[in-house]
Amino acid sequence: MSFSGNKTQYVAVIALIVSMIIWSVSGIAIKHALVALPPFTMILMRFIPSVLLMLFIGIVWRKHSLFCLQRMELKDLPLFLIAGFCQPFLYYMLETYAYDALNSPTIAETLLSTSPLLSPIFAAVILRERITRNNIWGILISTVGVFVLTLVGATDYSIGSYWGVLLAFMAVSAAVISSVMMRKAPMRYSALSFVFYTQVISLLFFIPVWFWREGPSALMAIDWSQLADPASSLTVALWAVSYLAIFASVTAFILFCFALRQVGVTQANAFNNIRPVFTAIWMFLFFGEQLPALKWVGMAMIILGIFICQKQDTKTINNKQL
């Protein structure tokens, strides 16, 4: 894909940027939600509204090509099962515990943005997707920019529990596998259909885990009387969960699914590197986290790397070299 491409490619780029802006706030929202809600209960409260919202959209706008819900064919069930197990089910749990174990949402976003490093390998081996030198160079430059943005200027390089790092990389692997399944899904399924079926499957996986780990007792242990106070931690947590359900789980996923199926796994996942840029900006604007000059250099490297990654290049990397 090139930025000089057709209208669909421009729309795909815009969709990717918007989805990354939405997801860049997810870490902050999760941190606020976990103050008042147990992790698995928070995920369940995120799952159910998102599935119901997509069902409502599919019914109301069933004639729209992007939002219609097609019936899943039995032969495609294994693909949806793999995608739904990996993301959101596995990714949500790993992401939530990674954010909880790591010290800063910015650090968590950095680790969770490393999917571009794995995407070319999965895309080339499984999908036989064309990987160019510009893709590789762009991903490397933007990834270096991510680490510059995160680490330069820090006075404390401790990142929290090392389990958080492991969980973040496991989450990234699950997300990449899911994106490969997203690309393999037949184009007859709308973006909404793919996201809806994967989240329904994820919910079916997750409900037994919720009963095992927390169950109804977790809901009963919550002090619901706090909702009378608009500034209470529970009220803030529920607003955060609403954001995660409506925007992170539905809006961003549909936009990302649409764009990935237009431009491919490697180029779509390259945009994950701009998530820490937006997260750092939100932390600067609303939480006073400083952005020294070198962090701006890191942001510039990320943007440059993504631009290079999207440029057309006739020189491809042979699958055997990956």
Using the predicted structure, report yes or no on whether residue 318 has a pLDDT greater than 80: no
Q: Report, as an integer, the average pLDDT of 99-103.
A: 77
d(CA 90, CA 170): 9
The ranges assigned to domains in the chain are 7-131+158-267
Give the SS3 label for residue 132.
Answer: strand
Helices (H), 85-132: 91-101, 105-112, 115-127
Please, which pLDDT band fits residue 51 given cuts at 50, 70 and 90? very high
At 132 the pLDDT is 82
Using the predicted structure, report yes or no on whether residue 309 has a pLDDT greater than 70: yes
Using the predicted structure, report yes or no on whether residue 315 has a pLDDT greater than 60: no
Using the predicted structure, report yes or no on whether residue 235 has a pLDDT greater than 90: yes
More confidently predicted of 208 and 263: 208
Mean pLDDT (the chain, rounded): 84
At 84 the pLDDT is 93
At 320 the pLDDT is 47
d(CA 122, CA 27): 26
Q: At 102, phi and psi to the nearest 5?
A: -95, 155
Q: Report, as an integer, the average pLDDT of 15-37.
A: 91
d(CA 215, CA 17): 37
Please, which pLDDT band fits residue 129 given cuts at 50, 70 and 90? confident
At 109 the pLDDT is 66
Using the predicted structure, report yes or no on whether residue 312 has a pLDDT greater than 70: no
Give the distance between the most distant pair of CA atoms in the chain.
Answer: 63
Whole-number percent of the chain with pLDDT over 90? 37
pLDDT digits (tens, 9 = 90+) for 241-297: 999 999 999 999 999 999 998 888 888 888 888 888 888 888 788 877 777 788 888
pLDDT digits (tens, 9 = 90+) for 153-166: 554 445 667 788 88
Q: At 70, phi and psi to the nearest 5?
A: -85, 155
At 93 the pLDDT is 81
